[in-house]
Amino acid sequence: MADLSNEYTRIISEIEKTISNDDERKIVKEKTQELSMIFIENIENLNNIINNKLKEMEERENKINNAVSQLQKTVNEIEEDIYEGEEPDGDFDFEIVCPYCNTEFVTDLSLMNLEKNEIKCPECDNIIELDWNEQDDECEGHCGGCHGCGHDHFEEEYEDVDQNDEDDDM
């Protein structure tokens, strides 16, 4: 701003030195001041427009930040629901019922220990075999119903019932 003031002073000084007629010099100085005021008003108007745009941008940014914050909160809640029981280090809480003493207990098993096939009951100290729902290719027919082994136990049961009905008819 100091440079602008210095330039203005220099221009007025040149006008005073160059124009010898007092009336002409007075008119030129007044018109130069009017022109300067027009420029200053335009600069102030542009400055106000820029400030208003900046305020609008800040308001939009605040709205966006609030929306992102809400979205992050929702995502965190969804993650919490999905990974409920999962520990931060990748462990999972598993609820186990001991088949020997019916004690229900929770144990932490990490993803690395999912190949672990047995665990000790904390109550009766018996070893519990863990079933990770791995399917055998052959069904031994002792499960009383199909749980993913691929055999159709439902039809086998009805075949037995049909045979019994035929025996009753004779």
Same domain, 13 and 33: yes
- Give a yes or no: residue 144 inside a domain: no
- Residue that finishes a domain, picked among 58, 82, 106: 82
What is the pLDDT confidence band of residue 154, given thresholds at 50, 70 and 90?
very low
- Give a yes or no: residue 76 inside a domain: yes
Same domain, 27 and 77: yes
pLDDT at 137 over 60: no
pLDDT average, residue stretch 12-38:
91
- Phi/psi of residue 124, each to 5°? -105, -5
| pLDDT tens track for 33-79 | 999 999 999 999 999 999 999 999 999 999 999 999 999 999 998 88
What is the pLDDT confidence band of residue 3, given thresholds at 50, 70 and 90?
confident
- Give a yes or no: residue 27 inside a domain: yes
Counted domains in the chain: 2
| pLDDT tens track for 87-129 | 555 566 778 889 999 999 888 766 555 567 788 899 999 998 8
Same domain, 6 and 62: yes
Residue 128 near residue 119 (C-beta atoms within 8 A): yes
Q: Which domain holds residue 73?
A: 2-82
Please give the DSSP secondary-structure letter assigned to residue 97.
Answer: E
Same domain, 8 and 75: yes
- Residue that finishes a domain, picked among 57, 82, 107: 82
Same domain, 43 and 109: no
- Give a yes or no: residue 60 inside a domain: yes
pLDDT of residue 64: 97
- Give a yes or no: residue 19 inside a domain: yes
pLDDT of residue 139: 55
- Give a yes or no: residue 168 inside a domain: no
Same domain, 51 and 33: yes
CA torsion, points 102, 103, 104, 108, in degrees to nearest 10?
-120
CA torsion, points 45, 47, 49, 52, in degrees to nearest 10?
-130
Output 137 or 131, whichever has higher pLDDT: 131
pLDDT of residue 157: 47
- Give a yes or no: residue 163 inside a domain: no
Same domain, 14 and 35: yes
pLDDT average, residue stretch 142-146:
54
C-alpha distances in Å from residue 44, one per residue of 35, 49, 51, 90:
14, 9, 10, 60
- Give a yes or no: residue 143 inside a domain: no
C-alpha distances in Å from residue 162, one per residue of 8, 58, 146, 158:
113, 78, 20, 6
* Highest mean predicted confidence (pLDDT) among 30-34, 85-89, 139-143: 30-34
